């Protein structure tokens, strides 16, 4: 391999390594985004479950009130 070809190969290798670093940075950011989405999904599920629980309590209270006061239906 000539000296010029060797330098060309080194330059190509350097550019490929730079692109690989860019890809790794994008992958790291994507992984962080996915992690945040999973945390947000879990929080939303907790909120949904708590909302359902609260609705159940309100429904029970309304039904109990209606049973005590049949004329308020």
Q: How far apart are the C-alpha atoms of 73 and 30, rounded to whole Å?
A: 55
Nearest to 30 by CA among 19, 38, 44: 38
User: In the predicted model, is pLDDT for residue 73 greater than 60?
Assistant: no
Q: How far apart are the C-alpha atoms of 13 and 9, rounded to whole Å?
A: 6
7-59 pLDDT, tens digit each: 999 999 999 999 999 999 999 999 999 999 999 999 999 999 999 999 999 99
Helices (H) and strands (E) in the chain, counts: 1, 0
**Domain boundaries of the chain, sorted by first residue:** 3-64
pTM of the full predicted structure?
0.62
7: three-class secondary structure by DSSP: helix
Which two three-digit tokens encode residue 31?
């992984």
């Amino acid at each position: 391999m000539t000296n010029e070809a060797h330098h060309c190969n080194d330059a190509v290798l350097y550019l490929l390594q730079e692109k690989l670093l860019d890809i790794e940075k994008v992958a790291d950011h994507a992984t962080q985004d996915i992690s945040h989405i999973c945390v947000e999904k879990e929080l939303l599920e907790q909120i949904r479950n708590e909302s359902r629980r609260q609705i159940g309590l309100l429904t029970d209270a309304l039904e109990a009130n209606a049973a005590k006061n049949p004329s308020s239906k």
